[in-house]
Amino acid sequence: MIESESIRPKNALLVSPNLGHPLFLHIDNDLKNHKFELKLLFVSNLDSLAQFEEYVKNNISLTPILEYKWKLLEYLERAKEERLAKLEKEKKRSIWSRIKSIFKRDKKEKIEEEATIEGGLTDSKGVKFDIIPTEEITKLRPRAFRGEEIKPIVSKFEDASFYEIDNPRFDNYINPQNYLIKHEIYGSLNKYYTANIFFNLSNEVIKFLTSFNFIMFDIELSRPDKKEWINYHSIVVSKNKWIDFKFFHATDLHLAERNDRIYEIVRKWKTLVRKSDVSEIVAQSAKALSFFQRLLMKQPEEKAKNVKALHKRYINPNNNFRNLIKLTNKQVMQNDLDFIVLTGDLIDFAVISKIDKEKRKTIDFDYEYSNWRIFKEIVLNFPQEKRRGMVSGDEILCPLFTEVGNHDFRNYHYDLRWGNLYKKIGLTGDEAIALNDELLANPIGSITKSFQSLKGYLREINSSLDYYLKLGENNFIFLNSGSDSFKNIIDFVSGHPSVTGLTNKQIKYLENLANTEIKSGSNTFLLIHGPPINPKKNISSFKRFSLSKTPQDIFTSIEQYKESILAKLGKKGSSARIDGKFDVKYGTISSNWAKLLKFCLDFCILTLSGHTHQLKEFRLSNPQNLTTNASSTGPYSLEKLEIPAAIFYDFYSEQIDTPEEVELKAPYIVQTPALGLGSYFKPNLAGAFREIIVKKGKLASFKVDYIKR
């Protein structure tokens, strides 16, 4: 039944820019350019452009995100100036009034002067902040403070154009993609419109920019009789010329509501269950397992003799992200960080695990019941139920750019015993069993993938799966490497699943960028979840047999092929190549692998990936007799080559100290260890991120660091 136009509720939502794909605007260091214009993308159920214009024209506002300590100091300074002005005014009074004031100058005057630092500050959203003495302000953690709203002029309403990513006219901010309609991401809203906004920076914002390199804005759409729709952190006005800058790369966050519950569940179980009962519980649990569940589980290992206290070893991925945000905010306050990129596995699975089966059938991956809500709540420090073991959070004060990974396509939670995954969060096998009663997993549902799992992400965080960002002479390409691939089920069961890889449209998108956007001499960074290169640890028996060398001359471990090690042994050049010796596609890109690698060789100085939870770094070189058409006069195109690049392995980020050294061995393809989870045998490696520094227009450093837990 089609709703009558007269009774259908009017509705519209702002689609782009958004939290995970903000729009950068430039302002000069002298702060002379106060006027800006940009185009926004909306989705609506209003059928005519005139109706849409009427609905949104006067209902858009921009809210600047300031910082509480800065605002407090500015407030105290202004209060001091007002007090001085008042005293100056007192001096101009009559002589007789001044004489009388001498006898009245007592405690009352002191109280009046101190009154300016009592009470609280309230931002434009009604959030209250305490006012404290100036000498104690430095002890405060950075906090977001919403400044005075700016009302833009809204005009130039148009129907949005649908250009797919393989079309040269594609604009990743204002061209909606067909998957938004195909999968009904916005429900019955399926009409896309654009509108331009014009706005001037307020005096408050200009003053803030005298102290900081950038400022972020929320875009708010007030909707009649509905809750406001806010695209948080979606506009960034920056003074950076993008010659010198720094950003963080983090990956594999694996956020989930259950991460904050595990500590309480296990702790309670340990206090209730006697040690003598543990063996019986383990045995009963094993009997209850299906054949498929046992297939996913590895054989139990011997118990460690000395097990640390739970609070010293349990790794909560949510806490790792909260701690990274705190580190981020400190560096932002020092003008030492410009943005963060997050490349996939942002969440562990879509639907939060405590929802019963019957309710899951009716919620349609609703945002409120998904771990995408948990992601957004941590980023913005929205109120969350406080549980033991959770660290306090803060709203991030830095722009985010996000990409999805294979876990983001997964519907439901999995059993932490499968593949001994409990080791990645510092639990023992006995403790993993304790989670069964409340977090029992369905083995089939746990490996089911669905585009619907992305519904909360596309609607609330980032509507773009593939997009391009240009900052100065620096290119940033974000590619979706897809969901789990079941081409090799053994790799999947062993915890090293490959990903589906790139479509032909994505390859065409790369070709279009190469022909229209990427200039010679510019820095190009590729951000992707699935690693383009991921060799197995050892050479296979077949490869060893095929290599025409005596057994003692063949190195079998990938670690033995580090360029620095072979150089010390006097072996250089092609002897250090790992392609041809190792399976370099283990648990990586399943489709269009060779074309992607060729693009990385021709254009990308640094490719940042994750997925494996390990620290691996590679560099590429032209294989013998391989020519490139990257500098030819004709259009650039990618062809499938049997050997697209020569591949070398080492820890390059630890060996180079200058931009010249970086450039000498470039390009690089690196895997950053997981922020959320460690590896099986090194769970303490969790909390990793990579710091990328560009100096004088050249890549200077891309070292890995770790947060303090």
pLDDT per position as a tens digit, 572-618: 777 889 998 888 888 888 899 999 999 999 999 999 999 999 999 99
Residue 31 near residue 188 (C-beta atoms within 8 A): no
**Quick one: CATH architecture of 250-256+316-534+584-706?**
4-Layer Sandwich (3.60)
pLDDT score of 680: 67
pLDDT score of 1: 37
The radius of gyration computed from the CA coordinates of the chain, to the nearest angstrom, equals 28
Distances (CA, A) of 402 to 22, 72, 161, 196, 468: 10, 32, 24, 25, 12
Chain-centre distance for alpha carbon 502: 20
* Dihedral angle over CA of 537, 540, 543, 544, nearest 10: 90
Spatial strand order in the sheet of 12-16: 12-16, 35-44, 191-200, 153-159
Residue 22 near residue 233 (C-beta atoms within 8 A): yes
Residue 233 near residue 62 (C-beta atoms within 8 A): no
Give the number of C-alpha atoms closer than 13 A to the C-alpha of residue 109, restricted to the C-beta side.
10
Domain range annotation of the chain: 10-239, 250-256+316-534+584-706
Q: How many CB atoms lie within 10 A of CB 499?
A: 25
pLDDT score of 268: 86
* Nearest-angstrom CA–CA distance, 631 and 628: 7
pLDDT score of 226: 81
Q: Which residues pair with 145 in a beta bridge?
A: 66
Return all residues near 235 (Cβ < 8 A) that are at least 6 apart.
17, 22, 23, 25, 38, 62, 216, 217, 219
Q: Which residues of the chain have pLDDT under 70?
A: 1-8, 87-119, 274-305, 437-438, 443-445, 487-496, 540-554, 625-633, 680-681, 709
pTM: 0.90
Nearest to 679 by CA among 490, 532, 537, 564: 537
